[in-house]
Each structure stands twice: as structure tokens, then as C-alpha cells.
Chains A and B, each alone.
Chain A
Amino acid sequence: MKKTISINLAGLFFHIDEDAYKELQNYLAAVKRSMQNEQGTSEIIADIEARIAELFSERISSSQQVITSEIVEDIIDIMGQPEDYNIDDDNNDSNTRTDSTQTTKRLFRDKENAFVGGVSAGLGHYLGIDPLWMRLIWILLVFGLGTGVLLYLIMWILIPAANTTAEKLSMMGKPINITNIEEQVKEGFGNVKEHLDKVTEKVKQQDFNALQTKSRSFFEALSSILSICFKFFIKGIGILLIISGIFAIITTSISFFTLGIFGVTIPGIEINSLLSTPIIPLWLITIILLIVVIVPPLFVVFLGLRLLETKSTFLNKTARISLFILWGVALSCLIALSLQQLVDFNEEAYITKVNELKISKNDTLYLEMSKNSKYTKLTYRDLFKSDTYKVFRDSDQNQLIYGSNIRLIVRSTNDSLGTISIEKSSLGKTYELAKERAENVQYGYRFENHTLKLDPYFTTDISHKIRGQGIEVIVTLPKEAVLYADKNTYSFHRNYDKHQDLLKNGDEEHFLKVKSNELECLDCNKN
């Protein structure tokens, strides 16, 4: 919806959009200014207005009753730029003047000399070089990881084709050089001046004296130069945004596609085992995730196009709003899901079971992790690696979670016999759930012939999910007993001081006598 203004142009009545009105007003003012030296300016302006009115009435129909800015731009194309009205060459240096039939050079696609889309031919005109060189660069870029293809497509879309005679002329127009840049600066500052003139006219109807005008022109020129630099900078950022946005879209699409092929699995862990309650199906979660990651780069591309000031229809307003809403919904879903997951890690429960270990004074305990396991992969503990938990199928095809999160601690006791305590722990939404989970952790060891064989893994059914289950094995030995730990226990008793573990890493495969606060090595080199 737009506001319209009624205008009287050469005695005819028109409805015109507000922005189109401003455009037309600026145009007529600029035309007037460019003919300052001409006699009878008001008569010429009246003729021009009559012609514009005529062109307007040709374009008005029952379905198109309002003059839009497109129509105004169309008419400016027909009528020509303000400097085209200036036919006086006498007063000006002909070297720096803009000639009447050609405006400054613009970048268009040259369809008449096109190989593919005319981008190279157009760039050739614009940069004043043979299009052959441009084509050569494209071919080189295609070999450079195909960036050429992408860049070419972007330029094909963004650069308009030269269709009208005027466009063709401005495509082939003057090459870019200092004189033209100077002209552009002058033109730009003319516009600023015009604008300032209007403002000051409104504020007070008073002429500026020569000094004021002089100082003003200097700052106008300066601001114009700055604004041109700024424009180039902005366009560069725009191109950068478009390229990075498209790159992000492509990479995320590829990664989701490959995830889709492998049935959405993260190596070792199926997503199902991670999710607390599958209230929504997995494919929906995937889609939500996809929306969350792919919408932002789309907007980045849109922003880039905006910065380039193209009138592209890449994302219209409705599409933008609905995409944004969709993204918001998807994001809140994801946050809700994550919170739900977090709640599942709320409470912690421990179950401890202590058994006697028939080791008394002067006995020797051989401690090792059992080796006769099918699951040979889990023979060491590393909490920083992703394979602390794994999902396997047992011989009955039941899915089981295997964990290697086992901590071994050796302590001394004043009792005459040793003990072994197995502490199972787990997390859950409530204490009861956590406790139930801990109870369902299966862990075993064997003790025979003074040898304690600990399983290097625990198991639990997949239905219990991976919720930080862990095992702590505390072996206590009476004083004066001897401990011999196998090398394979190394990773399981990598403990901090707070765990009060007497068995230090590096003491494996030695006979160690238990003292109240340490283990004394019996067969170590004193050095």
C-alpha cells in the first residue's frame, strides 16, 4: 500500500506515488539546473512537462491508474539525463564535459557478442579490454575449484542485459579514468547541492554569499568522494556475503545429505540412545535442525544482494517473514528439546556394594583387567574420547550400551582382610530414575588364586540410554599385604589426588607392599 499524490502536469491530472513524485521532482529540478545558461528556461520546462504528461497518459490504463516510480524511471530513460539537456558547449572545456548523447559508462551484459551470458563481453566493454582475456580468466577460475562457475552465475544474475539503444551506448561508453571519476564526483556533489539548496530555501529564503558557497562546495566534494569510497566498500562486502552465504548453504546441505545416507548416526552412538523420550520422530528433528542451520545463510545471501542494490526477487517480503518465523519456531523447538535432554541429567544416584576380598597380611594380590572379552576395543578408559560409550549387539541381537567409564582405586585398611567395593552411578530426571538406571548397570569381576580380574567395561540395556553411567572400583588391602598390578590397569587408575589412590601410574608390574599411606616398592631400583 502506498500513498499517492495528485499532480497537475501541463493541465492534466495524474495520481502519482509519493516516491515516484519525489523522483520526478528531483529530475525536473536537476534538468532546470543543467539549463541555467539557457534563455527561456521556464518555457522549455513547460514543453518538457507537456511531453512527460503525454508519455504518462500513454502509460495509464484502467488497470494501471497510478504513476509508479518504474514509470518515472522509464520516462527518464526516454528523456535522458539532466546533462543531456545542456547543448551549450561553448562555455565548457570540451575535454571534461559529459557529452549529450552518452551518460557515464555502466556495466551491462553484451548479449550480441555473448558466448554464454555475455558477462565477459560486458566486462570487456566496461574495463576497456578484449573480452578474450576475461574468458581466459573464467576458464582458469573454473579449474581453480570451480569458483569461476559460481562467480559467473552470480554475475549473470546480477548484471542486467543491455537491451535498449541507450543501454548499449552506455555499455560501450567512456572508459573509467580520472576525468570520469571527477565527473561523477561533480555530479554527485551537484545532487547534494541541490538537496541542500532545497533545505536552506525552506529554512530561510536567503542567498548565500560567495564565501559561504565556496566553503560549502569544498565539503560537498569531500563528502561525495567519501560516499563513493563507502559505496565501493559496501559492494565489496555484499559480494563477500553472497559468496560466503552460498558456500555455507552448499556445505550444510552436503553434510545433511551424507548424514541422511548413513541413517543419521554419529559414529558409535545412535541418536536414539541419546534422546531421552522420542516424543517426536527422528526425521522431524533432522528437519528442525536443517531449518535452524540453513536459514541464516539464506539471509546472509539476501543481505549481500541488498548491499549490491539489485532489484532481485530472490526473497520477497512474505518469503522473508515466513522464513524468519519458521526459523524462530525451529529454534525454539530445538531449545525445548535440549532443555528436555538437560532435565534428564538432573539427579545423580550411587549404589555401592562391598564384598570381602580374601587377602590378609603378607598375601600377594595380582590385579588385572580381564582379557577374555569379545569387546576387545574397550580395554582402556579415556573420558575425553567419544568411545567411552558404545552400542553393540549381543549374540541375541539385543542392543547393549557398553561403557568404559571405570575408575580403579587402591586404598589401605586397618582390617585383617581386604575388600572390594563396586559403586555404580548414573544420572536421571529424578533420583528414583537415576537409581533405577544405576541398578541396571551390569558389572563383573572374578577373584581366584589371589588374582582379581576386573572387567574393563560395564553393560546396560539400550532402553536405559546413555546417562553418565559409571563404575568406581575401590580395592582396599590390609597393611603388609603385597600388590602386583598388571600394565593393563594403567588407564583405569589414572586418578587425581582427591581419589586417594595409593597405586600410582608407573608402579605397575612391581611388587608393592601396602603401608598406611603409601605403597612401598619391593623390587624397584633405588635409583
Chain B
Amino acid sequence: MKIENTKAQMRKGVLEFCILSVLEPKDAYVAEILETLKDAKMLVVEGTIYPLLTRLKNSGLLEYRWEESPTGPPRKYYGLTTSGKLFLKELNTTWDALQSAVSVVTQNQTKK
């Protein structure tokens, strides 16, 4: 068991949740999603996101449409589907529960 692996797994586990959250208020294309995640230091390299997006899309949680870009190639704008929104809602509650559970456990440990 190595600390780096555990850390990476923790981060990876919530990455899908984070992507869905970024897309909740408005549709975005990859560069925008990446910017938000990088600013929050959720992501170091961009590579990880592409297979994730495709996987989410294939599971029917995301959909995309093409839009022309003024500078580069046409962009894929991703947005949440109805099932995606439901999925996110569920993840939100799970996350809150998890967070409070973790804090209860860790705080109990420090009190002892």
C-alpha cells in the first residue's frame, strides 16, 4: 500500500463527480472544464479527462453538441442529460454524507 496510489485513487474517485458539478450550471467545452479543474488543483495533466468524458457520455450522463470556434477547430460543448442531473444529485448527497462521516471519524480520532 503506497500513499501516492491512495492519494491518486481518492482524487480519481471524485473526478467524475467534479466534472458533472462543473457542467451543472452551464454547458462547457473541454478547455473550460479543464480550466476550472486545474485552478482548483483537482487535475495536474489534462490527459485523464478525455477517457472520463467519453465514458460519462457513453453511460448517457452527458451529451454534446458541436459549436464553431473563432480560433481553433470546432468545439464539443458538453452538457448534463436528465439522467446526468439525477446522477449528480445522488452523488451530491453521497458526498455530503461521506464528508460528514469522514469528519466525524477523523475528529473522533483526534479527540482521543
Contacts and interface: CB of A to CB of B under 8 A. Distances in A.
Contacts of A78: 45-46
Interface stretch (B20-28, B71-79, B92-100): B71-79
A68 interface: no
Nearest to B38: A165
Interface stretch (A99-107, A205-213, A235-243, A329-337): A99-107
A10 B30 CA distance: 15
Contact of B45 (A80, A87, A89): A80
A285 interface: no
Interface string A27-41: 000010001001110
Interface size range of chain B in the complex: 20 to 34
Contact of A54 (B12, B41, B43, B73): B73
A80 B43 CA distance: 10
Given A12-B72, A101-B8, A87 B48 contact: yes
Contact of A47 (B4, B5, B43, B53): B53
B47 A80 contact: yes
A33 B100 CA distance: 40
Contacts of A86: 51
A511 to B, nearest CB: 100
Nearest to A11: B73
A92 B5 CA distance: 12
B58 interface: yes
B45 to A, nearest CB: 3
Nearest to A80: B45
A77 B75 CA distance: 22
Contacts of A82: 47
Interface string A101-122: 1100000000000000000000
Given A50-B73, A57-B72, A95 B5 contact: yes
B31 A51 contact: yes
A9 B74 CA distance: 12
A43 B7 CA distance: 29
Nearest to A45: B50
A79 B73 contact: no
A522 B20 CA distance: 124
Interface of A: 9-12, 31, 35, 38-40, 43-44, 47-48, 50-51, 53-54, 57-58, 77-82, 84-87, 89, 94-95, 97, 99-102, 165-166, 169, 173-174
Given A40-B54, A84-B47, A166-B45, 10 more contacts: A47-B30, A48-B50, A57-B71, A80-B45, A80-B47, A89-B12, A95-B2, A100-B12, A102-B44, A169-B44
6 interchain residue pairs of minimum CB distance: A80-B45, A80-B47, A99-B8, A10-B73, A54-B72, A84-B47
